[in-house]
Amino acid sequence: MTTSGLGGAIKDWVDTDDERSSGGFEDGDYLALDPPYRAANQNMTSVSELGAVQGMTAPLYDQLLPLVCALPGTSISISTPRRSRCCLRWRTRSTR
């Protein structure tokens, strides 16, 4: 999957419709996996949800982790975030 396809998969993960975006995945696709699960169809409540999006790889997830955060119940334009609305992500892995 390309990164543009991953963008479609992330869009479908958070949107509330069942219409597949270009390169995206909806409930029917996730339910066909083993084990099956559903798309969230709502804003992400945790950055860890990225790991459940079809097409996300461990290396890409590790690259994105320091750059993203989940802010449930808020709306932020990724093109113009204000410093006051950004959040800090505390590392959960040991740095030893």
Higher pLDDT, 76 or 51: 51
pTM: 0.71
d(CA 39, CA 13): 5
Per-residue pLDDT at 96 exceeds 60: no
How confident is the model over 10-38, as pLDDT tens digits? 999 999 999 998 888 999 999 999 999 99
pLDDT of res. 5: 76
How confident is the model over 56-93, as pLDDT tens digits? 999 999 998 888 888 776 655 555 555 544 544 434 34
d(CA 51, CA 36): 15
Burial 60-75 (b: 16+ CB within 10 A, else e): eeeeebeeeeeeeeee
Place of tokens 């959960």: 92
Write down the CATH number for the domain with range 3-85.
Answer: 1.10.40.60
d(CA 96, CA 13): 34
Domain boundaries of the chain, sorted by first residue = 3-85
CB 27 within 8 A of CB 38: yes
